[in-house]
Amino acid sequence: MIKLTFCLTRLPRLSLAEFQDYWRNKHAPLVKSHREALRIRRYVQLHSWEESLSDGIREARGGGLDKAPAIYDGVAQLWWESAEDLAAALASPEGVDAGRQLYEDEAKFIDFTKSPLWWGEEKVVFG
């Protein structure tokens, strides 16, 4: 499986609650509407809790809170069956249009300059 991981940071004008509400209730249905054109097999959203709730576990692992990287507002993960399937989706006119629509919508709530994303191949350890 090919996976896209996208660590999301909200635009400064949005509260965490506003960001997560838009992402879940506006953007997620848009992604779902394009799942066939983009050949997406699975899409999940990880919504971060209040940052202070993670301080203890971060500190216990030696990541001094003053040195630790920022906590993201959420993480999106999308799966494709294969690299060939992904390439075919991104090359089709429907896939190109779907990608444009998703990008335009993401610009309404994501700070792209603080939101890294990358492709990878999933290696299941268990489960």
Give the confidence band of 122 by pLDDT, cuts at 50, 70, 90: confident
Q: Distance (Å, rounded) from C-alpha 102 to C-alpha 123?
A: 27
pLDDT at residue 68 is higher than 80:
no
Residue with tokens 């879940």: 24
Whether the CB-CB separation of 77 and 43 falls below 8 Å is answered with: yes
How is domain 2-118 classified at the architecture level of CATH?
Answer: 2-Layer Sandwich (3.30)
CA 125 and chain centroid, separation: 22
Question: What tokens does 62 get?
Answer: 């030696």
Query: What local confidence, expressed as pLDDT, does residue 51 receive?
Result: 67
Q: Is the dihedral of CA 55, 61, 66, 72 positive or negative?
A: negative
d(Cα 95, Cα 108) in Å, to the nearest integer? 21
Using DSSP's 3-state secondary structure scheme, residue 94 falls into: helix
Closest CA relative to residue 23, chosen from 53, 48, 42, 5 = 48
The helix or strand, by DSSP H or E, that contains position 79, with its residue range, turns out to be: strand 74-80
Q: What mean pLDDT comes out for the span 69-92?
A: 91
